Each structure stands twice: as structure tokens, then as C-alpha cells.
Structure 1
Amino acid sequence: MDILTSYSFLIVAIGTVILSAAAGIVGSISVIKGQSLIGDAIGHATFPGVVLAFMLFNVMETSVLVIGAVLFGIIAFQLIHVITDFSKITLDSALALVLSGFFGLGMALKSYVQGNPNFSGTQGIDDFIFGQAAYMLKSDVYLIIAASVISLVLFFFYYQQLRIYTFDPIYARTVGISIRFMNVLVLAVTIMLIAVGLKAVGAVLIVNILIAPAVTGTLWSNKFMTVLIIAAVSGGMSAFIGTYISTALTGIATGPAIILALSICVIFSMLFAPKGIFAKQSRLRKLGEAA
């Protein structure tokens, strides 16, 4: 109980819970459309932007580093489309190329910066690889809240258009919905959440908070709004549990603890949800008995 009233725990918990809940809602679009790996590629591609922003301004302020992350996320997304539109390279190959290439660039820049006496205070850069939520500041939480609120306001303002765009893009065109604008909107809110979540979860693990809650939601319901609610709740609860475990047990980082909690939630849903393994086996058994 002492942990639950601890100031440092509350700061980290508020940030991670809000981030995971918002990411679960926004990530549902990518999961339903079968574009989950785009978020993974963008997440890894933001890391060199973080390092370059540090190199330019020589400060370890999250608000400054987020700008670099956002810019490189946009560049990565555009590059993926250029590769797939103007070459014979498939989407999955383009994602792998961009993911590994950008992350490799980030690691090379990190090695250069950390070995250069002209740059000081470089230790914090490693936090953006695997995350270090335990060192989140109040300003980081404010940044997460602002990004989450903006993302959710945009999401629900265009909720009807996004729902049609997600399930039937052809019909969306016929009723005058701009597919290009919807793509930009989803990209903008996704990159925004990825950028502010890097310090908490890291570039390697950030995609999990976008995908895992949404996967959980789709396993429990076919209704879009219900999927969003389940994704937000499962994401927020997993973030709280992971933050609590990492605070209570020494030596366990917050980001990986949150990812493990999310993974357990997904595994549980895969087994026991209405669209899970046991439910499918039960239906097949009933069909066999009826035949």
C-alpha cells in the first residue's frame, strides 16, 4: 500500500496508464486493417531522430527529442510508401528494410555521440532504446497527457469516418471520405503517441502498447466501440500492473514489465475469449456432435 501512495510511483503510473490506454485505442485501426508492423517500423525509425535532436541541441529534454522522433517517424512512413509504390519490393520487405536501416543508423549515431567528448550527458539516450519509465519526470507526464488528449480528441472527432475507412475503404470513397486524409490522421496520432512513449517503453518495445491491447479487444468483440473500450481498459490495467511490479520488485524495468503484463493479457484472451482457442474448439465439437 505504501507503493500506491508513493509520489514517484504515481507519476510513472499516471503517465504509463494514459499512454497505454490511448495507444490501445489508436492502435486498433492498424490491427483491424492488418498494418500492425507499420507501427513497429515507425517506432524503430524514431530512434535516430532522438539522437540527431540531441546532437543538434545538446540537451536531454524530452520535449526537444520528441521533435526529432516525430520527424523521423514521418520520413520513415513516407519512405515505406515510396519503396512500395515505385519498386517491386513488397510491403513486408520495405518494413524490414526501413526498420533495420533506421534503427542501425540510430545505433551508429549513439555510438558516435557517446564516444565524443563534445557531447555531455549522453547516458539518457539509452533510455529511448528499451525505455526507462522509472526516471520519468512530471514534465514527461504532462507531455504524454497532452499528446494523448490531442490524439483521442482527433480520433473521436473523426470517429464515424475512421470506422468506415477502417472496415470499408471503397465505400468510404463513394461517400466522400478522403482516404489520404484518413491515412495522414492515423499516421499523425500514431507517431505522436510513439514519440512521447519512447522514454517510458523504448523504441524496441513501443509497438507492443499499440498492438497488444487492440488484439485483446478484437478477440473479445466484433463491435468497433467495444473493441476500443476493451483495448483502452486492458492497456491501462496492464500499464498499472507492470508499473506496480517494477516498483515493488527491484531489478525489473517498467517498460518490459508493462509489455509482459500486456502479453499475459493477450495469451489469456487467446485462450478464453469468445474468439479464442477454447471457444473455437467448443464450437467445432458441437458441430461434430450435431453432424
Structure 2
Amino acid sequence: MDVLTSYSFYIVALGTVILSFASGIVGTVSVIKGQSLIGDAVGHATFPGVLAAFMLFGVMETYTLALGAVIFGIIAFLAIQIISGYSKVSLDSALALILSSFFGLGMALKSFVQGNPDYGSTQGIDNFIFGQAAYMLRSDVYLIIGASIISIILFIVLYPKIRIYIFDPVYSNTVGISSRWMNFTILSMTIVLIAVGLKAVGAILIVNLLVAPAVIGSLWSNRFSVVLIIAGCAGAVSAFAGTYVSTVMTGIATGPAIILALSVLVIFSMLFGRKGLIRKSIRRKQGVSL
């Protein structure tokens, strides 16, 4: 209970909660459009960007490492588009290729940096793999909050266009809403959220913040606005619970703790949600009885 009265805990929890809320909302678009695996590939691709930024500048500074993650995320996305668009390689194969190649590069750079004394202290690099909010600095939290709030505001401003872009792409082009521009905007928000959330959740699990809340929301409602709200709230609740568990229990990384909390909500929603198994079973039985 002492943790719940700690100012430092609430600062860190605020960062993970806002990050997860924003990721749940933005990630819902990718899930509905069937592009969630692109976020997975980009998330893994940001890890070598963190290492490359550290090797170039020699500082474990939040903004520098996040910039490296963003650059590599963009490179990974462009590589996916080029491979799938200008070769006979399918999109799924391109995603698998980029994900494994970039993450393998990140692990190779990590081994090289940690085995080379010229780079000095590398303490904290492992946190970018699985995430550890307990070791986040105030600057990390400020960056997460700033990027998340900007993403949420941008999403609200573009909400009418986003809704048309998702559910009626033909009409979207007719009224002058560029599908390419909307796709770029959503992807940009996704990459930024992934980059700033690496230290909190980790490169391996960050994509779950984009996918799992959207799944939870879709199991409770068919209305897009309601799905967005449920997704954001599910991400926020799971982030607070996971951050608390990882702070109280030594040795448990924040990323896995948050994802486990999300997994519990997913299972609960699959059973008791509006489109869950139990509701379907009840409706099926009622239909038989009638």
C-alpha cells in the first residue's frame, strides 16, 4: 500500500496510463484496417534504432534514443512497402522478413555495445526489450505524456475523416480525403507512440498496446466511437495495474505485467462481452427455445 502513496509511482503510472490510452485509440484504426502486423514489425524495428542512436551519440538520453527509434521505424515501414509493392514477396512475408531482420540487427548491436568498453555504461539498454517503468526518468515520462497527448488531440481533430477513411474508402476518395495521407498520419502516430513507449513496455510487447485494447473494445460494441473509448480505458486500466505489479514485485518487468493485465481483460471480454462466447451461447439457446 505504500506504493499507492508514492509520488514517484504516480508520475510513472501517469506516463504508462496515458501512453496505453493513446495506443488503444490509435491502434484500433490499424486493427480495423487489418494492419496490426505492420505495427508489430515496426515495433521490433525501433530497437536497433535505439542502439544506433546510442552508438552515434554515446548518451542514454531519452529524446536522442526516441529519435533513433522513430527513424528506424520509418525505414522499416518504407522497406515493407518497397518489398511488398515492387517484388513478388507477399505482405506477410515482407513483415516477417523486416521484423526478424531488424530485431536481429538490434540484438547484434546490443551484444557489440555491451562487449565494447569504449561505449562506457550501457545500463538501461535491456529495458528497451521488455520495458521497465520503475527505471524511467522524469524526462521519459514527460516525453510519453507529450507524444500521447499530441496523438490524442490529432486523432480527435481528424476523427470525422478517419471514420470515413476506415469504413468507406470509396466515398473518402470522392470527397477529397487522401487514403495515402490518412494512412501516413495514422502510421506516424503509431511509430511515435511505439518509440516513446519502448522504455515502458519494450520493443517485443509494445504492439500489444496497439492490438489488445482494440480487440477488447470490438468485443463489447459495434459502434466505432464506443470501441475507441473502451479500447482507451482498457489500455489505461491495464497500464496502471501492470505498473503497480512491476513496482511492488521485484524482478517483474513492466511490459509483461501490463500485457498480462490486458490478456486478462481480453479473456474476460471473450467470455462476457457483447460478442463473447457466453452471450452467444445464451442467444443461441434462446433462439432454440423459441
TM-score band, normalised by shorter chain: over 0.9
Structure 1: how far apart are the matches of 2:249 and 2:128?
A: 22
Q: Distance in 2 between matches of 1:155 and 1:182?
A: 11
Q: Say if 1:13 and 1:239, in contact at 8 Å, map to a contact too.
A: yes
- Aligned residue in 1 for 2:286: 286
Query: Partner of 1:203: helix, strand, or coil?
Result: coil
How far residue 2 of structure 1 moved from its aligned partner, in angstroms, is 1.9
Identity, % of aligned pairs?
69
Query: Aligned equivalents of 2:263 and 2:33: distance in 1?
Result: 21
What does residue 15 of structure 1 align with? 15
In the other structure, the counterpart of 1:71 is 71
Match of 2:275 in 1: 275
Taking the aligned partners of 2:12 and 2:72, their CA distance within structure 1 comes to 26
Q: 2: CA distance between counterparts of 1:270 and 1:36?
A: 19
Q: Output the amino acid matched with 2:140.
A: D
Q: Who is 2:201 aligned against?
A: 201
TM-score under structure 1 length normalisation: 0.97
Q: Is 1:106 paired with 2:112?
A: no
In the TM superposition, what are the counterparts of 1:40-55 in structure 2 within 5 Å?
Answer: 40-55=40-55
Letter in 2 for 1:251: G
Alignment correspondent of 2:181: 181
The corresponding residue for 2:138 is 138
State the Cα distance separating 1:216 from its structure 2 match. Answer: 0.5
AA aligned to 1:224 is: F
- Residue 247 of structure 1 aligns with which residue? 247
**Higher mean C-alpha displacement, 277-286 vs 97-106:** 277-286
Distance 2:89 2:105 in 1: 21
Q: Could you tell me how far apart the structure 1 residues matched to 2:34 and 2:278 are?
A: 24
User: Whole-Å Cα distance in 2 between the matches of residues 9 and 244 of structure 1?
Assistant: 8
Contact 1:80–1:98 (CA under 8 A) maintained in structure 2: yes
Q: How does 1:82-231 map to 2 (within 5 A)?
A: 82-231=82-231
SS in structure 2 opposite 1:284? Answer: helix
Structure 2: 5+ residue runs without aligned partners? none
Distance 1:239 1:276 in 2: 23
Q: Do 2:127 and 2:202's aligned partners in 1 also have CA atoms closer than 8 Å?
A: yes
Amino acid at match of 1:48: P
CA distance in 1, matches of 2:206, 2:191: 11
Deviation string 1:232-251 (CA, Å, 9 cap, x unpaired) is 11110111111112222233
* The 10-residue stretch of structure 1 (86-95 or 48-57) with the greater mean CA deviation from structure 2: 86-95
SS of the residue aligned with 2:69?
A: helix
Q: Which runs of 5+ in 1 are unaligned?
A: none
1:90 and 1:280 mapped to 2: Cα distance? Answer: 36
One-letter identity of the residue aligned with 2:278: F
Partners in 2 of 1:18 and 1:161 — Cα distance?
24
Deviation at 1:289, TM superposition (A): 3.0
Deviations along 1:107-140, one digit per CA (max 9) or x if unpaired, are: 1111111111210111221111111111011111
Classify the secondary structure of the residue corresponding to 1:123: coil
Residue 175 of structure 1 deviates from its aligned partner by 1.5
How far residue 163 of structure 1 moved from its aligned partner, in angstroms, is: 0.6
| Counterpart contact for 1:12–1:134, Cα < 8 Å | yes
Q: Distance in 2 between matches of 1:253 and 1:118?
A: 28
TM-fit CA distance, 1:288: 2.8
Moved over 6 A (4+): none
Aligned counterpart, 1:262:
262
Provide the C-alpha distance between the structure 2 equivalents of 1:70 and 1:96, rounded to a whole number of angstroms: 20
The TM-score normalised by the length of structure 2 is 0.97
> How many residues get paired?
290
